[in-house]
Structure 1
Amino acid sequence: MFSRSVIATARRAAVAQGFKPVVARRAFSASVVARGGHSHHHEPEVTGPGTLKPLSEIKVASDLVGPGAQPGTVPTDLEQATGLERLEILGKMEGIDVFNMKPLDASRLGTMEDPIIALSAGEEHYVGCTGFPADSHVTMWLTLSRSRPIERCTECGNVIKMEYIGAEDAHSDAPEDPKTMADFVKKEYWYN
């Protein structure tokens, strides 16, 4: 995911630690290892400092820290993943798409009376509209937020509405939306 190469990152880390930088003579690589013949739906045995918790028991950030690999072994994704990556893996193990990566409904054009719904657990949600029918124009990015849940595509007129499904107090410290031309429209012209 990162644009930096492994070698450049390793050099920076070595210099930061006070070591003489050394260029690697071979490429870094890892291989996938099947352990114990378990299918991906069974919970693997995890030993070490971290524990494997089901998705329903994740409450604080420290619950999303993996145990790491046993000495002398290459860690699996589950053992080394932390944060949002670990949350996504735990969700997939239980058959839940945590980030809801399915495309939005493109079978119709959203209207103000019947908008296309985009579920969001965050304060803001970015949606790409490609038109109706799908792919009829270049992707137009719309920014939806809790304070401005409805947006209309300027290219095709498709209306998308954000439906917030997160905790009510989760984003109480979120910054105020920046001012746009919509803030200067008289209240009697607002859509209710």
Structure 2
Amino acid sequence: MEGKLIVIEGIDGAGKATQAKILKEQLESQGKTVSVYSYPDYSSVYGERIKSFLYKKIDLKVDELFMLYLIDMVKDRNRIIEDIKKGNDVLIDRFFFSTIAYQSAGGFSYETGKEFVKLLGMPPITVVFYINVPVDISMQRKEKQKGKMDVDKFESNKMFLSNVSKVYDQLKSENFYAKKWVEIDGSKSIEEISSLIKENMD
């Protein structure tokens, strides 16, 4: 039996990494093998370049950035497919939905972004958990986590993050590239969010 492909999405400060960790532990407690991926992958050459852009060390055009994010994910495509075929549940903290949302908010064509993603040949996503957090809360959390001087160029731009949220809403309304999208109120507590994720895993 093939494993599930589960994606956790949302803007910066939504608590994606925290919820991915909790869900991994829940699935493993049920005897399942879980493979976890997170993007951008800063250990890769592509991720390093993305990080340099985010912290304003280099400048990239929006189309260059879109392709860089996508290549960072494509490098793992075969591993992800193999994990699923082996029966492992695959849990991804941010996937190509983020790439479409962030780069569309930055000026890349939304429709073109979706067409590129369809060409990747990824298996359909079992479920996308979209943690929808208000931008003000997102920014407060990131400043508290990193300090005001260490937030990256996306995390510190309120108008940009608002536009990213709108693109996420559009992807969800279209049920893009997933069997199911589940929107969760990101202003709820960690425990409440993890409980809602668990309830919607079936």
Q: TM-score range by the shorter chain?
A: under 0.3
- Give the structure, 1 or 2, with the largest relative contact order (CA under 8 Å, sep 6 or more): 2
- Name whichever structure is richer in helix by fraction: 2
Rg bigger for which structure?
1
The two structures have a TM-score, normalised by structure 1, of: 0.20
